[in-house]
Amino acid sequence: MSTKRLNRAEAQVRVYRDAQEVALKAARHFARLADQYVVGSGRFTVALSGGSTPRAMFSLLAEAPFADTVPWEAIYFFWGDERCVPPDHADSNYRMAQETLLSRVPVPAENIFRIPAELPDPQAAAEAYAGTLLGFFARQASSSGTAPLAGVPRFDLVFLGMGPDGHTASLFPGTTALKVTDKIVVENYVEKFKAHRITLTAPTINNARNVTFVVAGTDKAEALREVLEGDYKPELYPSQLIHPEHGSLLWMADESAAAQLTQPHDVEK
Ligand code: 6PG
């Protein structure tokens, strides 16, 4: 697995007016990629994140024009991370996606692969999800050719958020999961929450065809500058670990999150 540092030139950064605009453009991005991959390969695989910007995007996707035009039956939903709670818990990323999007569009139940984070042993939950991913992507690989990294799922799209501390998925600063290169999913103890999370590892995210961060808010501005323009310090800013090897990296940010960037980026009004 790569230890290559983030090259700012590899990331495309698009800046929008506000969080609502980011959510709308992210919804369009999802819809466009879903069309493209369903036409090209008959299906679209996406890993979702938790967080506030995705929540707004999911709500938009559940409404016109997306609800009636996105090829929902051919989309397979996974998660980048999950809190160790039951699926009906208020903190569950699965519950958030279910309530805002999945229960409102015609996605077959068998296309939804949530992380079984309610299991009492977080490691067992991580291993169970790794098994689910390996089983699903092995079946896909046999019908659509070989993936670049053997044994690592290759999502068509991984959506990510970023916390003000630079974390992404549940890859938090200073945690053990940051160094894992031989597993596709791990449990990660996060001291500041005194709780475990389940998360895809950086090599899994980096094996995706498309990785898209959606970030909004002034509290993200310093971390966004450090991640994109600062020295490579992934122990402090884990989002720097994300640099897809054979895929595209897109950051969709609002003006307040992008306020401290000094290098050129695409401004979309
Ligand atoms: C989670 C996440 C996490 C999230 C960021 C940003 O479960 O909490 O998946 O990585 O994306 O914390 O969240 P906001 O968009 O709410 O700031």
Residue 7 CA to ligand 1 center (angstroms) comes to 23
Residue 188: strand, helix, or coil: strand
pTM: 0.93
Q: Which of ligand 1's atoms lies nearest the C-alpha of 217?
A: 17
Task: Tell me the angle at which helices 93-100 and 52-61 cross, rounded to the nearest 10 degrees.
Answer: 30
Contact (Cβ atoms closer than 8 angstroms) between residue 160 and residue 213: yes
Q: Which of ligand 1's atoms lies nearest the C-alpha of 83?
A: 7
Q: Which of ligand 1's atoms lies nearest the C-alpha of 219?
A: 17
Token pair listed for 250 = 């897109």
Upper half-sphere CA count for residue 173 (Cβ side, 13 Å): 11
Mutate to test the pocket of ligand 1, among 20, 49, 55 (most ligand atoms within 8 A of CB): 49
Q: How confident is the model at residue 142 (pLDDT cuts 50, 70, 90)?
A: low
Q: How confident is the model at residue 143 (pLDDT cuts 50, 70, 90)?
A: low
Residue 143 CA to ligand 1 center (angstroms) comes to 34
Mutate to test the pocket of ligand 1, among 94, 168, 220, 224 (most ligand atoms within 8 A of CB): 168
Query: Rounded to whole angstroms, how far apart are CA atoms 227 and 234?
Result: 8
Q: Count the neighbouring beta carbons within 10 Å of the beta carbon of residue 191.
A: 10
Q: How confident is the model at residue 10 (pLDDT cuts 50, 70, 90)?
A: confident
Bridge-based pairing of strands 81-83 and 195-200 is: antiparallel
Bridge-based pairing of strands 157-160 and 210-215 is: parallel
The whole-number pLDDT of residue 51 equals 87
The whole-number pLDDT of residue 4 equals 38
Would you say the CB of residue 52 lies under 6 angstroms from ligand 1? yes
The whole-number pLDDT of residue 2 equals 33
Is residue 5 predicted with pLDDT exceeding 50?
no
Residue 49 CA to ligand 1 center (angstroms) comes to 7
Would you say the CB of residue 204 lies under 6 angstroms from ligand 1? no
Is residue 158 predicted with pLDDT exceeding 70?
yes
Would you say the CB of residue 238 lies under 6 angstroms from ligand 1? no
The percent of residues in the chain predicted with pLDDT above 70, rounded, is 93
Q: What is the mean pLDDT of residues 240-269?
A: 91
pLDDT in tens, 181-235: 999 999 999 999 999 999 999 999 999 999 999 999 999 999 999 999 999 999 9
Q: Which of ligand 1's atoms lies nearest the C-alpha of 160?
A: 11
Residue closest via CA to ligand 1's atom 1 equals: 50
The whole-number pLDDT of residue 79 equals 98
Q: Count the neighbouring beta carbons within 10 Å of the beta carbon of residue 137.
A: 22
The span from the first CA to the last CA of the chain, in angstroms, equals 38
Specify the higher pLDDT residue, 174 or 11: 174
Residue closest via CA to ligand 1's atom 3 equals: 169
Query: Rounded to whole angstroms, how far apart are CA atoms 141 and 254?
Result: 37
Q: What is the mean pLDDT of residues 47-67?
A: 95
Bridge-based pairing of strands 185-190 and 195-200 is: antiparallel
CA 124 to the chain's CA centroid:
22
